[in-house]
Amino acid sequence: MSLNSKKRKLDRSAQDNVYFESYSDVTIHEEMIADKVRTNSYRLGILKNYKAIKGKVVLDVGAGTCVLSIFCVHAGAKKVYAVEASAIAEQAKEIVKLNKMEDKITIIKGMLETAELPENVDVIVSEWMGYALLHESMLNSVLFARDKWLKPGGCILPSVAELYIAPINDPVVEDRLNFWSTVKDQYGVDMTCMYDFARKCIMMTGEIAVNSVTMEDVLSHPAKFAELDLHTVTTEQLESVKGSFNCECFGSSSVNALCIWFSVTFPGEDRPLVLCTSPFKQETHWKQSILYLDEAVEVTQDTKVAGEISMSPSVKNPRHLCVHLDYSIGKHTNKSKTFSMGDGYPDPE
Amino acid sequence: MSLNSKKRKLDRSAQDNVYFESYSDVTIHEEMIADKVRTNSYRLGILKNYKAIKGKVVLDVGAGTCVLSIFCVHAGAKKVYAVEASAIAEQAKEIVKLNKMEDKITIIKGMLETAELPENVDVIVSEWMGYALLHESMLNSVLFARDKWLKPGGCILPSVAELYIAPINDPVVEDRLNFWSTVKDQYGVDMTCMYDFARKCIMMTGEIAVNSVTMEDVLSHPAKFAELDLHTVTTEQLESVKGSFNCECFGSSSVNALCIWFSVTFPGEDRPLVLCTSPFKQETHWKQSILYLDEAVEVTQDTKVAGEISMSPSVKNPRHLCVHLDYSIGKHTNKSKTFSMGDGYPDPE
């Protein structure tokens, strides 16, 4: 091993440490469990699939506080292996004990990739979705678990993930840019020249923002640009998740960003259960991910907003997300922009 | 110079870089100028002191967008030297030009400590206050400017700073701790054992929180524990700003934190103008600084909350703040706790 590749390996594990440490604080678990859309969807998605779970062996990937493992026991699981790399595993042990499920749930503290299970499993359950679905790249661990531990014909919950995109007008950013022209009236100081600087700091950094988009600010029907079947998708395919979109604006407005979100689906005999993080649905802690254009573009009814989007793990840190966008808005054709999402999303409130 | 002290020196300047870079983004300047209490107080405080400013030479320490320099020109200043170390100095130049004040305001890009002024000044104006007054330690630069550049008998705006403390009940933290006992009703999973872990993560870290305290949550009259006269206070005195407090609770409640805030005063012939960041006044971007106790203490009417507080720059990073508290609440006597405030306050919203 060359010094260089050794260094890269050390860096990688340091990145993993930063990632897992972020899950050792109470705030993130409180936020996830307090997210009723998320937790109730998983609860119902698991209970709905009781036929697949009852009397069976389950693997919970990234179990956190073990809440999904406990739902699986509620659904009749014979045994659940709960793998969790962060220090929250200690609290999970107490929770399992308090709920008198020590005989059913075995907590394995460590990374999924190195965990040793005593047997193969019938079901994998995992809440692996990051901001914009793929931030944190945790899906790789689920696929690793599937390929190593899932019995043939086994079940993955949820089983499908979909990605959506739509043009939006973010009024907060508009207001922030226009703020500088209000300073003269307020204090007698002309600061209109700050507009361009503000636009550079707010819209041109290429950082993906995580924030709540109001449905009124969505300017067209959303376009689905990617679908991942968790039973078949490969780690190689996750290196670049891409798709195209073609939207037509509802009416006159100003597009200053594209917004992306995701849904995941639990299979169901009658009908599947969908956990959807769309701006048209009840808010979740994932909110939406916002890709600001360098400048706003005026649109009218039927103006086309079309293009291609590709999402990849960042080269520097595979848990970070890189998004490349090629797009046209009406007559503004052949534009492109690259975005990234690092640690620490979203801004806590 | 030993390698060690050289290293320390490099670290110190790296810390300064982090500090000054944080002021090169638009968000912080937008927040400060949009803070009407702050900006209007400075505007009125400066205009009120027109007799000291008219026809005189002013130094603006940490000028930012130069808004205070422009107020000084409005008040009749002959000349303003605006010293600013961060990249926002470039925008300040444009603003000064746009307001046609290039002949009155000279922007000096660099640190105050190394800036060369062509003359001594009659007035120093500066908005140097950090969270809990002393976070960021910028007052040291104002004192340096005073000792090097202010003419004898010159004026400093504002001229006095005061620090206050009061016991509070923070209901958000109470709710966050109690959240874990609501999980069973919501999802059928008993998570009451998370209470202690949550308390450890939220109340026991010793990090100073910056947040808005509602006046109803303040449990006694506030106590003033320190006063700094900017004409006389020394850098050595800022190494440890301390004082005592003695509060009596209004009625039955639960103290889970002490809250600190500050005011600064502009002199005035008739009456001085006070910029106050108290929870009893209109909110500012400084909000209040909250020191959580390890656990809540029940109080009733007239329960004494008393003690001593000392504030110092952190040893590791002099721009960070360290607070030590010795206190008693009723029969809970001889308690003490140390707090710190690092970069990145408050959580942006």
Cβ distance of A188 and B74 shorter than 8 Å = yes
Q: Considering B110, B142, B158, which residue would you say is the last residue of a domain?
A: B158
Range of the domain at B221: 162-341
What is the reported pLDDT for A15?
A: 78
Contacts of B346 in chain A (CB under 8 A): none
**Is A301 found in the same domain as A278?**
yes
Grade residue A11 by pLDDT with cuts at 50, 70 and 90.
low
What is the reported pLDDT for B344?
A: 59
Cβ distance of B65 and A34 shorter than 8 Å = no
**Is B197 found in the same domain as B55?**
no
Q: Considering B158, B175, B197, which residue would you say is the last residue of a domain?
A: B158
> Which of A31, A113, A119, A136 is the catalytic position?
A136
Q: Does residue B14 or residue A233 have the better pLDDT?
A: A233
Cβ distance of A99 and B70 shorter than 8 Å = no
Q: Which residues pair with A164 in a beta bridge?
A: A224, A261
Say which residues have a Cβ less than 8 Å from residue B280's Cβ, sequence separation at least 6. Answer: B215, B218
What is the reported pLDDT for A71?
A: 98
**Is B308 found in the same domain as B270?**
yes
**Is A175 found in the same domain as A147?**
no
Grade residue A270 by pLDDT with cuts at 50, 70 and 90.
confident
What is the reported pLDDT for B7?
A: 34
Structural domain total, chain A: 2
* A contact residues 22-81, partner B, Cβ 8 Å cutoff: 25-27, 29-30, 33-34, 36, 39-40, 43, 65, 67, 70-71, 74
CATH code at position A35: 3.40.50.150
CATH code at position B274: 2.70.160.11
Quick check: is A274 in a domain?
yes
Grade residue B3 by pLDDT with cuts at 50, 70 and 90.
very low
Q: Distance (Å, rounded) from C-alpha A32 to C-alpha A16? A: 20
Nearest CA-CA distance, residue A125 and chain B, Å: 17
**Is A216 found in the same domain as A128?**
no
Quick check: is A250 in a domain?
yes
Q: Is A86 on the interface with B (CB under 8 A)?
A: no
CB A57 within 8 A of CB A77: yes
What is the reported pLDDT for B345?
A: 53
Q: Is the pLDDT of residue A202 over 70?
A: yes
Grade residue B347 by pLDDT with cuts at 50, 70 and 90.
very low
CB A329 within 8 A of CB A297: yes
The residue type found at A175 is D
* Smallest CA–CA distance from A47 into chain B, residue: B187
pLDDT tens sequence across A277-300: 999 999 999 999 999 999 999 999
CB B125 within 8 A of CB B59: yes
pLDDT tens sequence across A155-175: 999 999 999 999 999 999 999
* Smallest CA–CA distance from A200 into chain B, residue: B26
Q: In this structure, what token pair is assigned to residue A315?
A: 């080269």
Cβ distance of B188 and A74 shorter than 8 Å = yes
Q: What is the mean pLDDT of residues B129-137?
A: 95
CB B61 within 8 A of CB B142: yes
pLDDT tens sequence across B227-261: 999 999 999 999 999 999 999 999 999 999 999 99
Q: Is A343 on the interface with B (CB under 8 A)?
A: no
Nearest CA-CA distance, residue B136 and chain A, Å: 22
Q: Is B95 on the interface with A (CB under 8 A)?
A: yes
Q: Is B190 on the interface with A (CB under 8 A)?
A: yes
Q: Which of B233, B210, B224 is nearest to B143 (CA)?
A: B233
What is the reported pLDDT for A105?
A: 98
* A4: Cα within 13 Å, side-chain hemisphere: 0
Q: Is A187 on the interface with B (CB under 8 A)?
A: yes
Q: What are the angstrom distances between the C-alpha of B92 and each of A208, B36, B84, B219, B325? A: 28, 20, 9, 43, 40
Q: Considering B158, B177, B204, which residue would you say is the last residue of a domain?
A: B158
* Smallest CA–CA distance from A176 into chain B, residue: B30
Q: In this structure, what token pair is assigned to residue A151?
A: 């019995």
User: Is B136 one of the annotated active-site residues of the chain?
Assistant: yes
* Site from A182, A194, A211 to mutate, B interface, most B CB atoms within 10 angstroms: A194
Q: In this structure, what token pair is assigned to residue B93?
A: 């130049």
**Is B144 found in the same domain as B245?**
no
Cβ distance of A95 and B194 shorter than 8 Å = yes
Grade residue B270 by pLDDT with cuts at 50, 70 and 90.
confident
Quick check: is A4 in a domain?
no
User: Is A31 one of the annotated active-site residues of the chain?
Assistant: no
**Is A305 found in the same domain as A235?**
yes
Q: Is A2 on the interface with B (CB under 8 A)?
A: no
Quick check: is B1 in a domain?
no
Contacts of A203 in chain B (CB under 8 A): none
The residue type found at A52 is A
Q: Is B202 on the interface with A (CB under 8 A)?
A: yes
What is the reported pLDDT for B12?
A: 62
Can you give B174-243 as a three-state secondary structure string? HHHHHHCCCHHHHHCCCCCCHHHHHHHHHCCCCECEEECCCHHHECECCEEEEEEECCCCCHHHHCCEEE
> Which of B127, B174, B248, B283 is the catalytic position?
B127
Quick check: is A176 in a domain?
yes
**Is A194 found in the same domain as A135?**
no
ipTM of the complex, rounded to two decimals: 0.91
Contacts of A179 in chain B (CB under 8 A): 30, 34
Nearest CA-CA distance, residue A136 and chain B, Å: 22
Closest Cβ–Cβ partner in B30, B39, B201 for A26: B201
Quick check: is B194 in a domain?
yes
Q: Distance (Å, rounded) from C-alpha B86 to C-alpha B18? A: 10
Quick check: is A316 in a domain?
yes
Cβ contacts from A onto B, under 8 A? 100
What is the reported pLDDT for B173?
A: 95
Quick check: is B2 in a domain?
no
Q: Is B183 on the interface with A (CB under 8 A)?
A: yes
Grade residue B277 by pLDDT with cuts at 50, 70 and 90.
very high
Percentage above 90 pLDDT, chain A: 89
- What is the 8-class DSSP label of residue A217? G
Q: Distance (Å, rounded) from C-alpha A135 to C-alpha A207? A: 13
Contacts of B200 in chain A (CB under 8 A): 26
Q: What is the mean pLDDT of residues B137-147?
A: 97
* Smallest CA–CA distance from B176 into chain A, residue: A30
Residue-averaged pLDDT of chain B: 93
What is the reported pLDDT for B23?
A: 76
**Is A18 found in the same domain as A129?**
yes
Nearest CA-CA distance, residue B102 and chain A, Å: 14
Percentage above 70 pLDDT, chain B: 95
For chain A, how many residues are written? 349
* Smallest CA–CA distance from B212 into chain A, residue: A349
What is the reported pLDDT for A12?
A: 63
What is the reported pLDDT for B2?
A: 32
Q: Which residue has the tokens 């909000």?
A: B287
CB A23 within 8 A of CB A64: yes
Burial (CB < 10 A; 0-12, 13-18, 19+), residue B118, is exposed
Q: Is B343 on the interface with A (CB under 8 A)?
A: no
**Is B248 found in the same domain as B139?**
no
> Which of A127, A207, A216, A283 is the catalytic position?
A127
Ordered strands of the B304-313 beta sheet: B241-248, B304-313, B321-329, B332-341
**Is A188 found in the same domain as A280?**
yes
Grade residue A176 by pLDDT with cuts at 50, 70 and 90.
very high
Grade residue A269 by pLDDT with cuts at 50, 70 and 90.
confident
- The rounded Cα B83 to chain-centroid distance in angstroms is 20
Q: Is B174 on the interface with A (CB under 8 A)?
A: no
Closest Cβ–Cβ partner in A27, A191, A193 for B201: A27
**What pTM was computed for the model?**
0.91
Cβ distance of A187 and B40 shorter than 8 Å = yes
Q: Is the pLDDT of residue A268 over 80?
A: yes
**Is B288 found in the same domain as B168?**
yes
Q: Which of B314, B296, B318, B315 is nearest to B305 (CA)?
A: B296
Q: In this structure, what token pair is assigned to residue A54?
A: 């009852």
Residue-averaged pLDDT of chain A: 93
- What is the 8-class DSSP label of residue B348? -
pLDDT tens sequence across A92-143: 999 999 999 999 999 999 999 999 999 999 999 999 999 999 999 999 999 9
Q: Distance (Å, rounded) from C-alpha B18 to C-alpha A248? A: 44
